[in-house]
Structure 1
Amino acid sequence: MKADPKAEAAPAGGGSKKLVIILIAVLVLVLGGGGAAAFFLMKGGDAAEAEHEEETAKPKKKKKKKQDEGPPVYVPVEPFTVNLNPEEGEQYLQLAFTLQVPDAEQSDAIKNNMPKVRSRILLLLSSKKASEINTPEGKTALAEEIMKQVNEPFQDHGDEQEVSEVLFTSFIIQ
C-alpha cells in the first residue's frame, strides 16, 4: 500500500505552522520581558535621581560628627601654672591637658584660636580653690568646665567647637 502524499504533507505543514507560532510567542515573551525590565530599571533610576535631587535641594545643616567616623584627633595644650583662689595661704596649680576632637578641621580651629582658649582656661583655673579640684570628682567637674569653655564659639554667632574630652596629663597642686 502506498501512502497518500497529501496525508504525509499535511502533518508536516501543520507542524511547521505550530513551530512558527511557538517561535513568535517566545519572541513576544522575551521582548515583553525585556521591555518590562527596562521600564522598571528606568523608573527605579528616576526615583533614585529624584531622591538625590531632594537631598541636594535641602539646606545643609552642620552635623556633628560621631566619634566612630574616624579616629579622634588630640590637641595638646601647653601647661598652665596659676595661683588658686586662696584658702590657707597661697597655693598654685600646675596643669597640662590634651583636648580630644573628632577631626583635623576641629583641631585646626582650636589651634588657630589658642590665645582665646588659653585665656578662657586661665580665668577658669584662677577662680578655683584647691579643695574644689583636689578630689577625683573635682577633677572630673573641672574637665567638664574646661570642655564647656573651649566649646564656646570663638566668634559671635559662630559654630561651637566639638571637643569631646579633656584628658589631664599633669595635675599638681602646691
Structure 2
Amino acid sequence: MKANPKMKADPKAEPAAPKSSKKKMLVIAIIGIVVLAISGGAAWYFTQGKSDPAHAEVKKHAKPEFVVIEAFTVNLQPENGEQYLQIQFTLEVAGLEQVEIIKTNMARVRSRVLLLLSAKKASELSTVEGKNQLSKEIIAVIKQPFATGAPQQEVTDVLFTSFIIQ
C-alpha cells in the first residue's frame, strides 16, 4: 500500500531525531569550549610569573642595554685556608638612561658588589643555585638608589662572564 501524502502523520509515531538532543550536544560543546578557555587562561597566568607592574612597564618600553663590569678579585670568607674569587659580569639594564646612571656611579656599584662578595664563602658560590642566588643579591644591591630620594636603578639581570674560585 502506498503512503498517502495528504494523510496526517500519526502523533503516536516517534520522531526521527529529537531536537532536544541536538540542543544538549550544543550546550555540552559550548561548556567544553568555555572550560578549555578557562584552563588555558589559568595555565598562561601561572606560567608567566608575577612581577611588579612598574617593572613590567619598564620592560615593555625600554630596549635592554648592557653594562660590562670590570673583573673583581676578592678574598672570600675563610673555610679551608685562604680562598679568592675572581669574577666578571655584565649588567642588563632598562635603557640608555640606566647605562649612564650606572656608569656615573660605577665607584658605588663596585663598592657595593665588593662588600657583598667579600662576605661570601666558596661553598656558597660553587653551585649553580649559589650563583643564581648571588645574581639576585647583586641585582638587589645595585638597584638601591644612589642618592636619597632618587629612584631605584632598573637592573634586570646579571650575566656572569667569568667566575673563578681559587
Task: Give me the TM-score of the superposition, normalised by structure 1.
Answer: 0.62
Q: Does 2:137 correspond to 1:145?
A: yes
CA apart distance, 1:102: 1.2
CA apart distance, 1:97: 0.3
Please show how residues 11-160 of structure 1 align to structure 2 within 5 Å: 64=55, 65-160=57-152
* SS of structure 2 residue aligned to 1:164: strand
Q: In the comparison of the two structures, how many residue pairs are matched?
A: 112
Instruction: Label 1:66 to 1:159 Cα distance change in 2 as closer, same or farther (>3 A).
Output: closer
User: What letter corresponds to residue 118 of structure 1 in structure 2?
Assistant: R
CA apart distance, 1:66: 3.0
CA apart distance, 1:68: 3.6
**Could you report, residue by residue, the CA deviation over 1:133-158 in whole angstroms, capped at 9, with x for unpaired residues?**
11000000000000000000000121
Q: Which runs of 5+ in 1 are unaligned?
A: 1-62
Q: Residues of 1 paired with 2:100 and 2:63: CA distance? A: 16
Q: Residues of 1 paired with 2:62 and 2:105: CA distance? A: 24
- Percent identical pairs in the alignment equals 54
Q: Which runs of 4+ in 1 moved over 4 A?
A: none
Q: Residues of 2 paired with 1:164 and 1:125: CA distance? A: 19
CA apart distance, 1:159: 0.6
**Could you report, residue by residue, the CA deviation over 1:63-94 in whole angstroms, capped at 9, with x for unpaired residues?**
55432434310000001000000000000000
CA apart distance, 1:116: 0.3
* CA RMSD in angstroms, aligned pairs only: 1.2
- Structure whose CA Rg is larger: 1
Name the structure with the higher helix share: 1
**Could you report, residue by residue, the CA deviation over 1:43-81 in whole angstroms, capped at 9, with x for unpaired residues?**
xxxxxxxxxxxxxxxxxxxx5543243431000000100
Q: Which runs of 5+ in 2 are unaligned?
A: 1-53
Q: Residues of 1 paired with 2:61 and 2:89: CA distance? A: 24
Q: Residues of 2 paired with 1:135 and 1:118: CA distance? A: 23
